[in-house]
Amino acid sequence: MRIAATFVALSALCFAAPVSAQGYGLGGTGGPKLGELEIKAYQKIPKVKIAVQLTSDTHLARELRRQVMERLTQRGNQVGFSGGNIMRMDVSYFDLSGGIDREMPMMQSQDYETGANPRLMLPANPIGRRDTIPAAPSGSTLRVSLTLYESSGGKVLWTATGSCSVRASAAMQAGLSIVNHMFDNADANRVADAGCPL
């Protein structure tokens, strides 16, 4: 009897999940549309030290974190990897098309770490005419999310989310554009263009 009651309770929780958790960028309440960014400033970003922490440690995420830290420094914040308020940064690249970006040559980093977590192969920038590069396959999506928490109590002060449909070879350029557009007017609630590369 207890097992049946537990099963019924868990089923009810699954079906009662909020609609916003069912998808990203689908035009509902799950976030901005693909190619847009959304900022929710519950208050202005305070001029205190901010620790920028990554949810996933990838080469792309580390490079984009560097840009976030530069933009925070330009605003007058002291930045670091610990101490002060915490800004969580999530960088995700999804290729749901099932295909491989064959236009993107791969290069192996010469200074990768050995051991359990070697650095993955990184995309190289192809040199050539830009008008001959095919469009990004449908389903190739870069998403950048920032959430600023208060150091004492964990209250959310500010969030920003943006996404672009891009080839893997243009993910860095798209990520930098998203971050820069987020901080161009960071203290205002808004939904705007993410500045995705063509």
pTM over 0.75: no
First-last CA distance in the chain = 59
Phi/psi of residue 46, each to 5°? -70, 150
For the segment 7-34, what is each residue's pLDDT rounded down to a tens digit?
444 444 444 433 333 344 433 446 789 9
pLDDT of amino acid 80: 82
DSSP state letter for 45 = P
Strand partners, 50: 79, 85
123 or 178: which carries more pLDDT confidence?
178
Mean pLDDT on 52-64: 93
d(CA 198, CA 170): 9
DSSP string across 96-144: TTS---TTS-EE--TTPPPSSSPPPPEEPPPPS-GGGSPPPPTTEEEEE
Q: Sketch out the chain's domains with CATH numbers.
A: 34-95+137-198 (3.30.160.670)
